[in-house]
Amino acid sequence: MTAAGRRVLVGRIVGLYGVQGWVKLESWTEPRTRIFTYQPWLLTSAPGVETEVTGIKGRPQGKGLVAQLPGVDDRDAAMALVGQDIYVSRDLLPPPGKDEYYWVDLEGLEVVTTEGVALGRVSHLFATGANDVVVVKDGTRERLIPFIQGSFVRSVDLSGGRMVVDWDPEF
């Protein structure tokens, strides 16, 4: 899938704010208020069920963020949105810096060792307190490889669809 066709999870609707349809947000953008500049939003309520929304207004409120979505003007309508994930199209995001990657761009890459042994493909990544971890699956096996560039991750070639890692295939 090309970057233009991918979606990136940037936040979630986590609660209600007031009685006029405003909702509380959790944002994973940097800075967190940048979530409002990426529109349209694709709200997902269940697998395969999504709604495109544009014209969202929002602001910081206390330690969090609040937003008002067009057509949502009372607490009952807002309640139906709580728990929905907020995705945006990958092509709305700025290009990553040198040696930086969006996780969605790494998903699906072929992973091989420095000796050329195929380990599988990147299934997904997750964050830990120390570093991010790449989950590599080959159909029968799952490997968790620390995403530490220069140490375990030797190179990433997005256009070639390949990640080279310094990793023991038996581990």
pLDDT of residue 2: 45
Q: Which two tokens stand for residue 146?
A: 């620390």
More confident residue, 62 or 5: 62
Domain boundaries, the chain: 3-91, 103-165
Q: Which two tokens stand for residue 147?
A: 């995403």
Closest alpha carbon to 109 in 165, 150, 169: 165
Strands 110-113 and 162-165: parallel
Which amino acid, one-letter code, is at 13? Answer: I
Q: How far is CA 51 from CA 22, 43, 148, 149, in A?
A: 17, 5, 36, 37
Q: What single-letter DSSP state applies at residue 98?
A: T
For 112-156, write each residue's pLDDT tens digit: 999 999 999 999 999 998 899 999 999 889 999 999 999 999 999
Neighbours of 34 (CB within 10 A): 14
For 44-99, write each residue's pLDDT tens digit: 987 788 999 999 999 999 999 999 999 999 999 999 999 999 999 999 999 998 88
CATH topology of domain 3-91: Elongation Factor Tu (Ef-tu); domain 3 (2.40.30)
Edge-first strand listing for the sheet containing 41-46: 49-53, 41-46, 85-89, 7-17, 22-27, 64-68, 57-61
Say yes or no to pLDDT of 161 above 80. yes
Give the distance from CA 139 to its chain's centroid: 23
pLDDT of residue 129: 85
Q: CB-side exposure of 92: number of CA atoms within 13 Å?
A: 18
pLDDT of residue 112: 98
CATH of domain 103-165: 2.30.30.240
pLDDT of residue 1: 42
Strands 110-113 and 118-127: antiparallel
